[in-house]
Amino acid sequence: SVLLYQKPNRDICQSGTSLKIQCVADSQVVSMFWYQQFQEQSLMLMATANEGSEATYESGFTKDKFPISRPNLTFSTLTVNNARPGDSSIYFCSSREGGGAEQFFGPGTRLTVL
């Protein structure tokens, strides 16, 4: 399995500000995924980030709003720009181990936008 760590665990910010969420893997991984989960709902894939290339975003998510960096094989950062109350949710990073199909998830970052 892959162990993923996220920082911060939770954050509260004002509308219009930006914040960064970091994800660190305990081993090198090819792809990292970012998910958004609203309360009492399922997970929605935001984007896939591979090292050295631009992240691929899913419908409804844009690079301008949620820029993602992937500078190396163990690290990724998700930024939430111009945060709005509607962005209040839990953000998870995930990854797979080697050629495995199953994804392992970080502990999540609970964001509240006031």
Partner 1 sequence: GEQVEQRPPHLSVREGDSAVITCTYTDPNSYYFFWYKQEPGASLQLLMKVFSSTEINEGQGFTVLLNKKDKRLSLNLTAAHPGDSAAYFCANTGNYKYVFGAGTRLKVIA
Binding site for partner 1 (CB under 8 A): 1, 31, 33, 40-45, 48, 92, 96, 101-108
Q: What is the closest distance, in whole angstroms, from the C-beta atom of residue 9 to partner 1 in the complex?
A: 10
Q: Which residue lies nearer to partner 1 by CB, 16 or 60?
A: 60
Phi, psi of 86 (to 5 degrees): -70, -10
Q: Which residue lies nearer to partner 1 by CB, 43 or 73?
A: 43
Q: What is the closest distance, in whole angstroms, from the C-beta atom of residue 3 to partner 1 in the complex?
A: 11
The token pair that represents 107 in the structure block: 């502990």
The token pair that represents 92 in the structure block: 């998870």
Q: Which residue lies nearer to partner 1 by CB, 85 or 101?
A: 101
Q: What is the closest distance, in whole angstroms, from the C-beta atom of residue 108 to partner 1 in the complex?
A: 5
> Cα(49)–Cα(31) distance, rounded to whole angstroms?
6
Which class for 78: exposed (0-12), middle (13-18), buried (19 or more C-beta within 10 A)? buried
